[in-house]
Amino acid sequence: MTQTTDPQVSANALADELAADRRTDAELTREEVIARNLAAVEAHFHNENPDDVDKAIALYTDDITWEAPSRGMVYTDPADVRAAYLDIFKTLVYDKTIALRRFATEQFVFDDQIAHVTVVGDKMPNLRFPIGTKLSVRLVHCFQMRDGKIAREIAYETWRERDGVLDHDSIPDDAVVELFDQTVGKHAPSA
């Protein structure tokens, strides 16, 4: 798999490799399937930004199902998922994410994180917070995988005002914090 010192370049190259990988799960060992599933989800997350969203979408199967149950959203067409991402980018600016845990099996990847975001628009359906609100979102994903691609993405979103009465989480010592600049999905320069 591709490796560079620039995380976005590495994620882009990895996404390209994974999108072109035509091997079925049956052709790989259990460990290879799990590693490929984790790599696909990592590349998907790193390409969830306005400039690279098509690379994130390329990691879906043609029969993708994308769900956000807390907002009542279900999409089954890659073009609709892409449009939903563009609406997210017009609505939220990410300040930071805190990766709590991620693990995988041959068929599923589970990811648990906290996202600190600011509401800057009103394009996301059923997001009930006004522009200017700073939120702490507990974001748990269940990805169903098939042959190295994402067949189903379920994003369980728990929306809370940042530093509000509901904003309490148990953060493990090995959690990874990632800071972003003021453009949604763009990583802040390293210090």
pLDDT of residue 20: 83
Stretch 158-175: mean pLDDT: 97
Inter-axis angle of helices 7-20 and 30-46, nearest 10: 130
Stretch 60-85: mean pLDDT: 97
pLDDT at 184 over 90: no
- The mean pLDDT value of the chain amounts to 90
pLDDT at 21 over 50: yes
pLDDT of residue 6: 53
pLDDT at 60 over 60: yes
pLDDT of residue 181: 77
Query: What is the rounded distance in angstroms from the CA atom of residue 129 to the CA atom of residue 46?
Result: 26
Query: What is the rounded distance in angstroms from the CA atom of residue 188 to the CA atom of residue 191?
Result: 9
The better pLDDT of the pair 9, 53 is held by 53
Residue 2 confidence class, pLDDT cut points 50, 70, 90: very low
Stretch 112-124: mean pLDDT: 97
pLDDT at 188 over 60: no
Residues 77, 66: contact at Cβ < 8 Å? no
Share of the chain above pLDDT 90, in %: 82
Residues 1, 19: contact at Cβ < 8 Å? no
End-to-end Cα, the chain, rounded Å:
27
pLDDT at 189 over 90: no
pLDDT of residue 187: 41
Strands 108-119 and 134-146: antiparallel
Stretch 99-116: mean pLDDT: 98
pLDDT of residue 12: 78
The better pLDDT of the pair 146, 191 is held by 146
